[in-house]
Amino acid sequence: MICLLANAEEVSIAAAELVAAQAEKSIKSKGDFSIVLAGGQTPRRAYELLARPPLSLRIEWARVHVFWSDERCVPPHDSASNYRMAFDAWLGSVSIPTAQVHRIRGELNPREAAMEYQALLKDHFCNRPPRFDLVLLGLGGDGHTASLFPHSSAIQDRLSWVAEANSGDEPRVTLTPSIINQAATVAFVVTGSAKAGILYKVLHGPRDKLRLPAQAIEPLSADLRWFVDRMAATKLVPRERLDTVS
């Protein structure tokens, strides 16, 4: 489902509202809520909205568990850390128990960090493949999502839950598509004209998961949502029809 919104602010509001609504629903139905956070700068504004009323008051933080889709192999205080971005924008401002914030330890080497995070997930989910309630993702200009980069081995890895990844010389750790696709809901957040071309290719171009890793995200629940602003959507439909897409 493509949710077309006027601008980046409206995308952030919609994404934040989805988090709050899914948290309320999951906590009411089963007693807890597990969310996987996207890194990068696109979701920052949504995180800031979740850090304050009215949305922060809707979520029972003691029942929330936070995970990450990927992480750079840097210490948690590093400005490039996905954990730090989420903590500064959101998690440090709400009363979520520290033990329920499950970061990837980027200060370790990538293989060790991947193995440790997989062990953490196995322990938390009692050795069953995780079924996160909500996974938030971004879209890179090359078609990557999380740290699943074009032609990386992690895209087709059906055995590992967590894998090493690299972007140039930058070591990273990422969840694999097989685990992301177990989620109840997956939502992409995409804004800006720079993403228009790649968004069109991912949604409407030839299927080539190795070249366009975002195409590997196909949740078994079929609940896949795209929160997109007008600038990112300009190649999807004629401009005169943008107001009608939802």
In Å, how far are 17, 18, 159, 236 from 58, measured between CA atoms? 10, 12, 37, 34
Q: From first to last of its 246 residues, what are the pLDDT tens digits of the chain?
A: 899 999 999 999 999 999 999 999 999 999 999 999 999 899 999 999 999 999 999 999 999 999 999 999 999 999 999 999 999 999 999 999 999 999 999 999 999 999 999 999 999 999 898 999 999 999 999 999 999 999 999 999 999 999 999 776 789 999 999 999 999 999 999 999 999 999 999 999 999 999 999 999 999 998 999 999 999 999 986 543 444 444
By three-state DSSP, how is residue 201 classified?
helix
Predicted TM-score of the model (pTM): 0.93
Q: What is the pLDDT of residues 13-49, one digit of tens each?
A: 999 999 999 999 999 999 999 999 999 899 999 999 9
Which helix (H) or strand (E) segment is 16 a member of? helix 8-30
Q: Could you give the maximum distance between any two Cα atoms of the chain, in Å?
A: 51
The fold of the 2-230 domain, in CATH, is Rossmann fold (3.40.50)
Report pLDDT for 166: 79
Q: Which regions of 21-169 does DSSP assign to beta strands (E)?
A: 33-37, 64-68, 70-72, 134-137, 162-167
Query: How do the domains of the chain map onto residue ranges?
Result: 2-230
- Distance, CA of 214 to CA of 138 (rounded, Å): 9
What's the CA dihedral at 113, 119, 124, 127 to 10 degrees? Answer: 150
Q: Do the beta carbons of residue 19 and residue 30 sit within 8 Å? A: no
Q: What is the pLDDT of residues 53-76, one digit of tens each?
A: 999 999 999 999 999 999 999 999
Report pLDDT for 238: 55
